[in-house]
Structure 1
Protein backbone atom coordinates (compact mmCIF):
# COMPACT_ATOMS: atom_id res chain seq x y z
CA UNK A 1 0.00 0.00 0.00
CA UNK A 2 2.80 2.38 0.85
CA UNK A 3 4.40 1.88 -2.55
CA UNK A 4 1.08 2.58 -4.28
CA UNK A 5 0.56 5.72 -2.22
CA UNK A 6 4.07 6.92 -3.01
CA UNK A 7 3.56 6.39 -6.74
CA UNK A 8 0.24 8.24 -6.59
CA UNK A 9 1.85 11.16 -4.75
CA UNK A 10 4.71 11.30 -7.23
CA UNK A 11 2.25 11.27 -10.13
CA UNK A 12 0.31 14.19 -8.65
CA UNK A 13 3.53 16.13 -8.14
CA UNK A 14 4.54 15.58 -11.76
CA UNK A 15 1.15 16.82 -12.93
CA UNK A 16 1.45 19.94 -10.78
CA UNK A 17 4.91 20.63 -12.15
CA UNK A 18 3.87 20.15 -15.80
CA UNK A 19 4.44 23.39 -17.70
CA UNK A 20 1.88 24.93 -20.04
CA UNK A 21 3.95 24.08 -23.10
CA UNK A 22 4.35 20.48 -21.89
CA UNK A 23 0.57 20.24 -21.52
CA UNK A 24 0.20 21.62 -25.03
CA UNK A 25 2.64 19.06 -26.43
CA UNK A 26 0.93 16.21 -24.59
CA UNK A 27 -2.50 17.31 -25.82
CA UNK A 28 -1.33 17.72 -29.42
CA UNK A 29 0.17 14.25 -29.32
CA UNK A 30 -3.18 12.83 -28.24
CA UNK A 31 -5.39 14.95 -30.52
CA UNK A 32 -3.37 14.32 -33.70
CA UNK A 33 -2.37 10.71 -32.96
CA UNK A 34 -4.35 9.33 -35.88
CA UNK A 35 -4.28 12.45 -38.00
CA UNK A 36 -3.34 12.95 -41.62
CA UNK A 37 -4.08 15.12 -44.63
CA UNK A 38 -7.66 16.37 -44.46
CA UNK A 39 -8.44 14.54 -41.20
CA UNK A 40 -10.14 16.86 -38.71
CA UNK A 41 -9.91 15.98 -35.00
CA UNK A 42 -13.12 15.18 -33.15
CA UNK A 43 -15.01 18.21 -31.78
CA UNK A 44 -14.23 17.25 -28.17
CA UNK A 45 -10.52 17.05 -29.03
CA UNK A 46 -10.62 20.41 -30.78
CA UNK A 47 -12.18 22.00 -27.70
CA UNK A 48 -9.63 20.31 -25.45
CA UNK A 49 -6.73 21.72 -27.44
CA UNK A 50 -8.37 25.12 -27.78
CA UNK A 51 -8.80 25.26 -24.00
CA UNK A 52 -5.09 24.59 -23.44
CA UNK A 53 -4.07 27.27 -25.95
CA UNK A 54 -6.50 29.85 -24.58
CA UNK A 55 -4.69 29.73 -21.22
CA UNK A 56 -1.15 30.12 -22.57
CA UNK A 57 0.53 33.48 -21.93
CA UNK A 58 3.83 34.91 -23.25
CA UNK A 59 5.65 34.09 -20.02
CA UNK A 60 4.62 30.44 -20.36
CA UNK A 61 6.77 30.16 -23.49
CA UNK A 62 9.61 32.42 -22.37
CA UNK A 63 8.63 35.50 -24.39
CA UNK A 64 8.72 39.20 -23.56
CA UNK A 65 7.76 42.07 -25.92
CA UNK A 66 11.17 43.69 -25.30
CA UNK A 67 13.07 40.83 -26.96
CA UNK A 68 15.09 41.58 -30.12
CA UNK A 69 12.69 39.50 -32.27
CA UNK A 70 10.10 42.26 -31.97
CA UNK A 71 12.26 45.25 -32.90
CA UNK A 72 12.15 46.87 -36.30
CA UNK A 73 15.56 46.95 -37.96
CA UNK A 74 17.01 50.35 -38.82
CA UNK A 75 17.95 49.02 -42.21
CA UNK A 76 15.37 49.91 -44.82
CA UNK A 77 13.52 46.79 -45.79
CA UNK A 78 10.34 46.37 -47.74
CA UNK A 79 9.26 43.68 -45.28
CA UNK A 80 10.52 43.46 -41.68
CA UNK A 81 12.23 40.22 -40.73
CA UNK A 82 10.06 37.63 -38.99
CA UNK A 83 11.43 35.07 -36.55
CA UNK A 84 10.01 31.58 -36.22
CA UNK A 85 10.73 29.79 -32.93
CA UNK A 86 10.64 26.07 -33.61
CA UNK A 87 9.21 24.16 -30.64
CA UNK A 88 8.46 20.72 -32.03
CA UNK A 89 7.55 18.91 -35.24
CA UNK A 90 6.71 15.33 -36.16
CA UNK A 91 4.70 13.65 -38.92
CA UNK A 92 1.36 14.44 -37.29
CA UNK A 93 1.74 17.97 -35.90
CA UNK A 94 4.03 20.95 -35.41
CA UNK A 95 4.29 23.66 -32.76
CA UNK A 96 6.03 27.00 -33.22
CA UNK A 97 5.84 30.74 -32.57
CA UNK A 98 5.97 33.53 -35.15
CA UNK A 99 7.51 36.73 -33.78
CA UNK A 100 6.58 39.83 -35.78
CA UNK A 101 7.93 43.37 -35.32
CA UNK A 102 5.57 46.27 -36.09
CA UNK A 103 4.40 46.18 -39.75
CA UNK A 104 5.67 42.61 -40.13
CA UNK A 105 3.62 40.60 -42.61
CA UNK A 106 3.09 36.89 -43.17
CA UNK A 107 1.67 37.11 -46.71
CA UNK A 108 -1.52 35.42 -47.85
CA UNK A 109 -0.94 31.67 -47.93
CA UNK A 110 -2.84 28.39 -47.53
CA UNK A 111 -2.84 25.33 -45.27
CA UNK A 112 -3.74 22.38 -47.50
CA UNK A 113 -5.39 19.50 -45.67
CA UNK A 114 -4.54 20.95 -42.26
CA UNK A 115 -6.34 21.93 -39.08
CA UNK A 116 -4.59 25.01 -37.67
CA UNK A 117 -4.79 26.59 -34.22
CA UNK A 118 -3.41 30.15 -33.87
CA UNK A 119 -3.06 31.80 -30.47
CA UNK A 120 -2.12 35.49 -30.33
CA UNK A 121 0.16 35.76 -27.30
CA UNK A 122 0.53 39.54 -27.16
CA UNK A 123 0.13 42.62 -29.33
CA UNK A 124 -2.36 43.58 -32.04
CA UNK A 125 -2.55 41.73 -35.33
CA UNK A 126 -4.72 42.18 -38.42
CA UNK A 127 -5.99 38.90 -39.81
CA UNK A 128 -7.61 38.50 -43.20
CA UNK A 129 -8.72 35.01 -44.16
CA UNK A 130 -10.59 33.32 -46.99
CA UNK A 131 -12.29 30.08 -48.00
CA UNK A 132 -12.79 28.92 -51.57
CA UNK A 133 -16.28 29.43 -52.99
CA UNK A 134 -17.76 26.02 -53.77
CA UNK A 135 -21.51 26.60 -53.57
CA UNK A 136 -22.20 28.23 -56.95
CA UNK A 137 -24.90 26.67 -59.16
CA UNK A 138 -23.73 23.88 -61.51
CA UNK A 139 -21.81 24.97 -64.61
CA UNK A 140 -20.92 28.35 -63.09
CA UNK A 141 -17.14 28.94 -63.14
CA UNK A 142 -15.35 29.49 -59.84
CA UNK A 143 -12.02 30.09 -61.60
CA UNK A 144 -10.94 31.51 -64.92
CA UNK A 145 -8.02 33.12 -66.77
CA UNK A 146 -8.67 36.88 -67.09
CA UNK A 147 -7.22 38.87 -69.96
CA UNK A 148 -6.26 41.70 -67.61
CA UNK A 149 -3.47 39.81 -65.86
CA UNK A 150 -0.74 37.41 -66.85
CA UNK A 151 0.24 33.94 -65.67
CA UNK A 152 -2.16 31.68 -63.73
CA UNK A 153 -5.93 31.82 -63.44
CA UNK A 154 -7.81 33.45 -60.59
CA UNK A 155 -10.26 31.69 -58.28
CA UNK A 156 -13.20 33.05 -56.33
CA UNK A 157 -12.89 33.12 -52.52
CA UNK A 158 -15.10 34.39 -49.73
CA UNK A 159 -13.66 36.62 -47.01
CA UNK A 160 -14.15 34.93 -43.63
CA UNK A 161 -12.29 37.35 -41.34
CA UNK A 162 -11.00 40.89 -41.92
CA UNK A 163 -10.30 42.46 -38.54
CA UNK A 164 -7.80 43.45 -35.88
CA UNK A 165 -7.26 41.17 -32.88
CA UNK A 166 -5.62 42.26 -29.64
CA UNK A 167 -4.31 39.85 -26.99
CA UNK A 168 -5.66 38.39 -24.82
CA UNK A 169 -8.16 36.86 -27.22
CA UNK A 170 -9.52 33.43 -28.05
CA UNK A 171 -7.59 30.95 -30.15
CA UNK A 172 -8.60 30.95 -33.82
CA UNK A 173 -9.07 27.67 -35.67
CA UNK A 174 -9.12 27.00 -39.39
CA UNK A 175 -9.98 23.74 -41.11
CA UNK A 176 -8.99 22.11 -44.42
CA UNK A 177 -12.01 23.57 -46.25
CA UNK A 178 -13.56 26.01 -43.79
CA UNK A 179 -12.80 28.72 -41.26
CA UNK A 180 -10.36 30.70 -43.41
CA UNK A 181 -7.88 28.17 -44.81
CA UNK A 182 -6.01 30.96 -46.63
CA UNK A 183 -4.92 33.81 -44.40
CA UNK A 184 -2.60 36.79 -44.05
CA UNK A 185 -1.14 38.17 -40.79
CA UNK A 186 -0.12 41.84 -40.47
CA UNK A 187 1.43 43.10 -37.23
CA UNK A 188 -0.25 46.36 -36.16
CA UNK A 189 2.10 46.37 -33.17
CA UNK A 190 4.88 43.97 -32.24
CA UNK A 191 3.18 40.63 -31.65
CA UNK A 192 3.68 36.89 -31.31
CA UNK A 193 1.42 34.08 -32.46
CA UNK A 194 1.68 30.46 -31.35
CA UNK A 195 0.78 28.11 -34.21
CA UNK A 196 -0.19 24.45 -34.02
CA UNK A 197 -0.56 22.65 -37.37
CA UNK A 198 -1.99 19.19 -37.74
CA UNK A 199 -0.50 17.78 -39.87
CA UNK A 200 2.44 20.10 -40.71
CA UNK A 201 3.49 21.30 -44.16
CA UNK A 202 5.07 18.57 -46.28
CA UNK A 203 5.76 18.79 -50.01
CA UNK A 204 6.18 14.99 -50.41
CA UNK A 205 2.77 14.42 -48.80
CA UNK A 206 0.98 16.98 -50.94
CA UNK A 207 0.92 19.78 -48.36
CA UNK A 208 3.06 22.56 -49.85
CA UNK A 209 2.66 26.20 -48.84
CA UNK A 210 1.12 28.27 -51.66
CA UNK A 211 1.07 32.08 -51.70
CA UNK A 212 -1.60 34.25 -53.33
CA UNK A 213 -2.34 37.67 -54.78
CA UNK A 214 -5.79 39.00 -53.94
CA UNK A 215 -7.99 41.16 -56.18
CA UNK A 216 -11.33 42.88 -55.42
CA UNK A 217 -14.39 41.09 -56.82
CA UNK A 218 -15.09 44.07 -59.08
CA UNK A 219 -11.70 43.67 -60.81
CA UNK A 220 -13.10 41.12 -63.27
CA UNK A 221 -16.45 40.38 -64.84
CA UNK A 222 -17.31 36.74 -65.43
CA UNK A 223 -20.40 35.38 -67.14
CA UNK A 224 -22.42 33.26 -64.75
CA UNK A 225 -20.99 34.76 -61.56
CA UNK A 226 -22.91 37.42 -59.68
CA UNK A 227 -23.36 38.35 -56.05
CA UNK A 228 -26.78 37.84 -54.50
CA UNK A 229 -28.62 40.96 -53.38
CA UNK A 230 -28.14 40.07 -49.72
CA UNK A 231 -24.35 39.75 -50.15
CA UNK A 232 -21.76 42.51 -50.37
CA UNK A 233 -19.16 42.47 -53.13
CA UNK A 234 -16.42 43.17 -50.59
CA UNK A 235 -17.19 39.78 -49.04
CA UNK A 236 -15.68 38.12 -52.13
CA UNK A 237 -12.27 38.43 -53.76
CA UNK A 238 -10.29 36.72 -56.51
CA UNK A 239 -7.12 34.87 -55.49
CA UNK A 240 -4.25 34.03 -57.81
CA UNK A 241 -1.32 31.74 -57.03
CA UNK A 242 2.05 33.47 -56.89
CA UNK A 243 5.67 32.72 -56.13
CA UNK A 244 6.96 33.29 -52.61
CA UNK A 245 6.95 37.09 -52.18
CA UNK A 246 10.28 38.78 -52.75
CA UNK A 247 11.65 40.30 -49.58
CA UNK A 248 9.86 37.88 -47.28
CA UNK A 249 12.40 36.80 -44.69
CA UNK A 250 11.42 34.28 -42.05
CA UNK A 251 14.38 33.31 -39.91
CA UNK A 252 14.08 30.05 -38.00
CA UNK A 253 15.66 29.68 -34.60
CA UNK A 254 15.27 27.29 -31.70
CA UNK A 255 12.66 27.97 -29.08
CA UNK A 256 14.17 29.05 -25.76
CA UNK A 257 11.24 28.71 -23.38
CA UNK A 258 10.45 25.91 -20.91
CA UNK A 259 11.68 22.59 -22.20
CA UNK A 260 9.28 19.92 -23.36
CA UNK A 261 9.87 16.27 -22.57
CA UNK A 262 9.22 14.05 -25.58
CA UNK A 263 7.87 10.77 -24.32
CA UNK A 264 7.87 7.84 -26.74
Structure 2
Protein backbone atom coordinates (compact mmCIF):
# COMPACT_ATOMS: atom_id res chain seq x y z
CA UNK A 1 0.00 0.00 0.00
CA UNK A 2 1.36 3.50 -0.86
CA UNK A 3 2.64 5.27 2.26
CA UNK A 4 0.19 8.20 1.99
CA UNK A 5 -2.77 5.84 1.62
CA UNK A 6 -1.56 3.82 4.61
CA UNK A 7 -1.17 7.02 6.64
CA UNK A 8 -4.73 8.00 5.80
CA UNK A 9 -6.08 4.61 6.85
CA UNK A 10 -4.22 4.75 10.16
CA UNK A 11 -5.50 8.30 10.78
CA UNK A 12 -9.03 7.17 10.05
CA UNK A 13 -8.73 4.43 12.65
CA UNK A 14 -6.88 6.55 15.21
CA UNK A 15 -8.85 9.81 15.41
CA UNK A 16 -12.36 10.61 16.52
CA UNK A 17 -14.19 13.91 16.24
CA UNK A 18 -12.57 14.93 19.53
CA UNK A 19 -9.01 13.93 18.60
CA UNK A 20 -6.81 10.85 19.14
CA UNK A 21 -8.69 7.89 20.60
CA UNK A 22 -5.68 6.76 22.66
CA UNK A 23 -1.96 7.29 23.24
CA UNK A 24 -1.26 4.09 21.31
CA UNK A 25 -3.35 5.28 18.35
CA UNK A 26 -1.46 8.58 18.27
CA UNK A 27 1.86 6.73 18.26
CA UNK A 28 0.66 4.64 15.33
CA UNK A 29 0.02 7.83 13.36
CA UNK A 30 3.41 9.21 14.37
CA UNK A 31 5.12 6.05 13.17
CA UNK A 32 3.39 6.20 9.78
CA UNK A 33 4.20 9.88 9.34
CA UNK A 34 7.84 9.17 10.18
CA UNK A 35 7.94 6.93 7.10
CA UNK A 36 6.68 9.60 4.68
CA UNK A 37 9.31 10.91 2.26
CA UNK A 38 9.18 13.78 -0.27
CA UNK A 39 8.85 11.27 -3.11
CA UNK A 40 5.66 9.90 -1.51
CA UNK A 41 3.93 13.26 -1.95
CA UNK A 42 5.37 14.34 -5.30
CA UNK A 43 8.00 16.67 -3.84
CA UNK A 44 11.27 14.89 -4.63
CA UNK A 45 12.41 17.58 -7.09
CA UNK A 46 11.77 20.31 -4.50
CA UNK A 47 13.64 18.26 -1.89
CA UNK A 48 16.66 17.98 -4.17
CA UNK A 49 16.70 21.76 -4.57
CA UNK A 50 16.58 22.18 -0.79
CA UNK A 51 19.42 19.70 -0.26
CA UNK A 52 21.63 21.67 -2.63
CA UNK A 53 20.51 25.11 -1.45
CA UNK A 54 23.29 27.67 -1.29
CA UNK A 55 21.21 30.83 -1.15
CA UNK A 56 21.66 33.44 1.55
CA UNK A 57 19.07 35.26 3.60
CA UNK A 58 19.29 38.84 4.78
CA UNK A 59 18.56 40.03 8.30
CA UNK A 60 15.35 41.69 7.11
CA UNK A 61 13.94 38.34 6.07
CA UNK A 62 14.32 38.91 2.34
CA UNK A 63 16.46 37.21 -0.23
CA UNK A 64 17.57 38.23 -3.65
CA UNK A 65 20.01 37.32 -6.37
CA UNK A 66 22.65 39.69 -7.76
CA UNK A 67 22.06 42.14 -4.93
CA UNK A 68 18.34 42.54 -5.47
CA UNK A 69 16.03 42.28 -2.47
CA UNK A 70 12.55 40.92 -3.04
CA UNK A 71 9.86 39.63 -0.75
CA UNK A 72 9.77 35.81 -0.76
CA UNK A 73 7.03 34.09 -2.77
CA UNK A 74 3.85 33.09 -0.92
CA UNK A 75 3.76 29.93 1.13
CA UNK A 76 1.92 27.15 -0.70
CA UNK A 77 -0.51 24.82 1.02
CA UNK A 78 -1.12 21.43 -0.57
CA UNK A 79 -4.28 19.76 0.67
CA UNK A 80 -3.77 16.00 0.87
CA UNK A 81 -7.19 15.22 2.35
CA UNK A 82 -10.34 17.25 2.86
CA UNK A 83 -13.65 15.95 4.14
CA UNK A 84 -16.07 17.68 6.50
CA UNK A 85 -17.03 14.42 8.16
CA UNK A 86 -13.43 13.33 8.75
CA UNK A 87 -11.88 13.88 12.16
CA UNK A 88 -8.61 15.41 10.99
CA UNK A 89 -6.99 17.55 8.32
CA UNK A 90 -3.93 16.50 6.33
CA UNK A 91 -1.84 18.96 4.33
CA UNK A 92 1.62 20.22 3.46
CA UNK A 93 3.05 23.74 3.82
CA UNK A 94 5.75 24.45 1.22
CA UNK A 95 7.78 27.41 2.44
CA UNK A 96 10.27 29.43 0.36
CA UNK A 97 13.46 30.68 2.07
CA UNK A 98 12.89 33.47 4.61
CA UNK A 99 9.13 32.93 4.66
CA UNK A 100 7.50 32.92 8.08
CA UNK A 101 4.38 31.35 9.54
CA UNK A 102 3.71 33.81 12.40
CA UNK A 103 3.17 32.85 16.02
CA UNK A 104 -0.24 31.14 16.22
CA UNK A 105 -2.10 28.47 18.15
CA UNK A 106 -4.13 25.30 17.66
CA UNK A 107 -6.74 25.49 20.46
CA UNK A 108 -8.13 22.13 21.51
CA UNK A 109 -6.16 20.33 18.80
CA UNK A 110 -3.40 17.75 18.55
CA UNK A 111 -0.94 18.46 15.73
CA UNK A 112 1.61 16.09 14.22
CA UNK A 113 4.28 17.73 12.04
CA UNK A 114 6.97 16.13 9.89
CA UNK A 115 9.63 18.24 8.16
CA UNK A 116 9.95 16.58 4.76
CA UNK A 117 12.94 18.56 3.53
CA UNK A 118 14.91 21.70 4.30
CA UNK A 119 15.85 23.63 7.42
CA UNK A 120 13.64 25.88 9.54
CA UNK A 121 13.68 27.78 12.81
CA UNK A 122 10.99 26.88 15.35
CA UNK A 123 9.88 28.90 18.33
CA UNK A 124 7.08 27.63 20.53
CA UNK A 125 5.31 28.42 23.81
CA UNK A 126 2.67 27.00 26.14
CA UNK A 127 0.35 29.10 28.27
CA UNK A 128 1.08 29.20 31.98
CA UNK A 129 -1.45 29.83 34.71
CA UNK A 130 -1.25 32.86 36.96
CA UNK A 131 -2.33 33.46 40.52
CA UNK A 132 -4.61 36.26 39.40
CA UNK A 133 -7.37 36.21 36.74
CA UNK A 134 -6.24 37.49 33.35
CA UNK A 135 -8.44 39.44 30.99
CA UNK A 136 -8.45 37.51 27.67
CA UNK A 137 -8.04 40.81 25.85
CA UNK A 138 -4.80 41.51 27.74
CA UNK A 139 -1.37 39.94 27.39
CA UNK A 140 -0.99 36.45 28.83
CA UNK A 141 2.17 34.70 30.05
CA UNK A 142 3.56 31.84 27.99
CA UNK A 143 6.57 29.68 28.78
CA UNK A 144 9.17 29.08 26.09
CA UNK A 145 9.20 25.42 25.04
CA UNK A 146 11.45 25.44 22.00
CA UNK A 147 13.69 27.91 20.18
CA UNK A 148 16.00 26.10 17.81
CA UNK A 149 16.68 24.92 14.28
CA UNK A 150 15.38 21.72 12.70
CA UNK A 151 16.77 20.06 9.58
CA UNK A 152 15.32 17.13 7.63
CA UNK A 153 15.47 14.20 7.86
CA UNK A 154 14.10 14.23 11.39
CA UNK A 155 11.32 12.64 13.38
CA UNK A 156 7.70 13.72 13.71
CA UNK A 157 6.84 16.22 16.45
CA UNK A 158 3.55 16.28 18.35
CA UNK A 159 1.85 19.34 19.80
CA UNK A 160 -0.90 18.70 22.34
CA UNK A 161 -3.86 20.98 23.13
CA UNK A 162 -2.15 22.46 26.22
CA UNK A 163 1.47 21.32 25.95
CA UNK A 164 4.34 20.59 23.61
CA UNK A 165 4.48 24.12 22.19
CA UNK A 166 0.91 24.61 20.97
CA UNK A 167 1.67 28.30 20.26
CA UNK A 168 4.42 28.36 17.67
CA UNK A 169 6.05 30.01 14.66
CA UNK A 170 8.19 28.77 11.78
CA UNK A 171 10.81 30.53 9.68
CA UNK A 172 12.26 28.82 6.61
CA UNK A 173 16.05 28.96 6.31
CA UNK A 174 16.10 26.97 3.07
CA UNK A 175 13.18 25.82 0.93
CA UNK A 176 11.28 23.45 3.20
CA UNK A 177 8.04 21.52 3.47
CA UNK A 178 6.07 20.67 6.59
CA UNK A 179 3.56 17.80 6.53
CA UNK A 180 0.81 18.52 9.08
CA UNK A 181 -1.98 16.41 10.55
CA UNK A 182 -4.51 18.26 12.74
CA UNK A 183 -7.06 16.48 14.89
CA UNK A 184 -9.70 17.67 15.21
CA UNK A 185 -9.38 20.35 12.48
CA UNK A 186 -10.07 24.06 12.88
CA UNK A 187 -13.76 24.81 13.43
CA UNK A 188 -15.07 28.23 14.44
CA UNK A 189 -18.37 26.64 15.44
CA UNK A 190 -16.56 24.48 17.98
CA UNK A 191 -14.27 27.20 19.32
CA UNK A 192 -11.19 26.07 17.40
CA UNK A 193 -10.21 29.32 15.71
CA UNK A 194 -6.60 30.11 14.84
CA UNK A 195 -5.34 33.15 16.74
CA UNK A 196 -2.11 35.02 16.02
CA UNK A 197 0.09 36.49 18.74
CA UNK A 198 2.98 38.86 19.28
CA UNK A 199 5.13 39.71 22.26
CA UNK A 200 3.49 42.46 24.25
CA UNK A 201 5.28 45.74 24.87
CA UNK A 202 3.01 46.42 27.81
CA UNK A 203 4.08 45.57 31.32
CA UNK A 204 1.78 43.18 33.15
CA UNK A 205 0.93 43.04 36.81
CA UNK A 206 0.07 39.33 36.66
CA UNK A 207 1.75 37.10 39.24
CA UNK A 208 3.39 33.97 37.89
CA UNK A 209 2.97 30.63 39.70
CA UNK A 210 5.79 29.56 41.97
CA UNK A 211 8.50 27.60 40.21
CA UNK A 212 8.12 29.51 36.93
CA UNK A 213 11.27 31.36 35.92
CA UNK A 214 10.28 34.82 34.66
CA UNK A 215 13.24 34.78 32.24
CA UNK A 216 11.58 31.88 30.37
CA UNK A 217 8.24 33.65 30.08
CA UNK A 218 6.99 35.92 27.30
CA UNK A 219 3.79 37.95 27.62
CA UNK A 220 1.78 37.44 24.44
CA UNK A 221 -1.13 39.41 23.09
CA UNK A 222 -3.46 38.72 20.20
CA UNK A 223 -2.77 40.43 16.90
CA UNK A 224 -3.56 40.33 13.20
CA UNK A 225 -1.12 38.42 10.97
CA UNK A 226 1.21 40.68 8.95
CA UNK A 227 0.22 41.57 5.39
CA UNK A 228 3.34 39.80 4.16
CA UNK A 229 1.97 36.48 5.42
CA UNK A 230 0.31 34.93 2.36
CA UNK A 231 -0.68 31.29 1.96
CA UNK A 232 -1.95 30.06 -1.39
CA UNK A 233 -3.42 26.72 -2.38
CA UNK A 234 -0.99 24.90 -4.62
CA UNK A 235 -1.39 21.86 -6.88
CA UNK A 236 -0.79 18.62 -5.00
CA UNK A 237 1.17 16.23 -7.21
CA UNK A 238 1.00 13.17 -4.97
CA UNK A 239 -1.72 10.61 -4.50
CA UNK A 240 -5.10 12.18 -3.68
CA UNK A 241 -6.61 10.59 -0.59
CA UNK A 242 -10.35 10.10 -0.71
CA UNK A 243 -12.88 8.36 1.51
**TM-score, with length taken from structure 2:** 0.83
What per-residue deviation string (whole Å, max 9, x for no partner) do you get for residues 178-210 of structure 1?
A: 111111011111100000011111222221111
Q: After the TM superposition, which of the residue ranges 172-181 and 74-83 deviates more from structure 2?
A: 74-83
Cα pair 1:109 1:209 within 8 Å, conserved? yes
Q: Does 1:198 align with 2:178?
A: no
Deviation of the 1:222 alpha carbon: 2.0
Contact 1:79 1:248 in 2 (8 A): no
Q: Distance in 2 between matches of 1:79 and 1:157?
A: 30
1:8 maps to none
Preserved contact between residue 154 and residue 238 of structure 1 (Cα < 8 Å): yes
**Secondary structure of 2:44's partner?**
coil
Q: Which residue of 2 aligns with 1:35?
A: 17
Partner of 2:39: 59
Instruction: Say if 2:77 and 2:94, in contact at 8 Å, map to a contact too.
Output: yes
CA distance in 1, matches of 2:7, 2:122: 24
Residues 225 and 48 of structure 1: CA distance in aligned 2, closer, same or farther (over 3 Å) = closer
RMSD of Structure 2 on Structure 1 (CA): 2.6
1:242 maps to which residue? 223
| Preserved CA contact (<8 Å) 1:114 1:197 | yes
For residues 179 and 45 of structure 1, the distance between their equivalents in structure 2, rounded to whole angstroms, comes to 18
The number of residue pairs the alignment matches comes to 227
- Alignment correspondent of 2:213: 231
Q: Which residue matches 1:185?
A: 170
1:118 aligns with 2:118: no
CA separation in 2, counterparts of 1:85 and 1:112?
22
**1:49 aligns to what SS in structure 2?**
helix
Match of 1:48 among 28, 48, 56: 28
* 2:74 paired residue number: 81
Are residues 65 and 100 of structure 1, via their aligned partners in 2, closer, same or farther at CA, if it must alter by over 3 Å?
Answer: farther
Offset of 1:41 from its aligned partner? 3.3
- Kept after mapping to 2: 8 A contact 1:129/1:184: yes
CA contact 2:121–2:148 (8 Å) conserved in 1: yes
Q: Which residue of 2 aligns with 1:251?
A: 232
Counterparts of 1:125-204 in structure 2, within 5 Å, are 125-134=120-129, 136-137=130-131, 140-141=132-133, 143=134, 152-204=137-189
C-alpha deviation, 1:76, in angstroms: 5.4
What is the CA–CA distance in structure 2 between the aligned matches of 1:117 and 1:243, rounded to whole Å?
25
Matched, 1:210 2:203: no
- Structure 1 residues 97-108: aligned runs within 5 Å: 97-108=92-103
Change over 3 Å in CA distance of 1:76–1:250 after alignment to 2? farther
Query: Is this contact kept in 2: 1:118–1:171, CA < 8 A?
Result: yes
Deviations 1:112-153 (A, max 9, x none): 11110000001111111111102x44xx34x359xxxxxx41
1:14 aligned residue: none
Question: Once the 2 structures are TM-superposed, how far is the Cα of residue 24 of structure 1 from its aligned partner?
Answer: 0.9
Unaligned runs of 5+ in 1: 1-17, 146-151
Q: TM-score, normalised by structure 1?
A: 0.77
**Distance in 2 (alpha carbons) for counterparts of 1:54 and 1:48:** 10
Counterpart CA distance in 1 for 2:166 and 2:173 is: 22
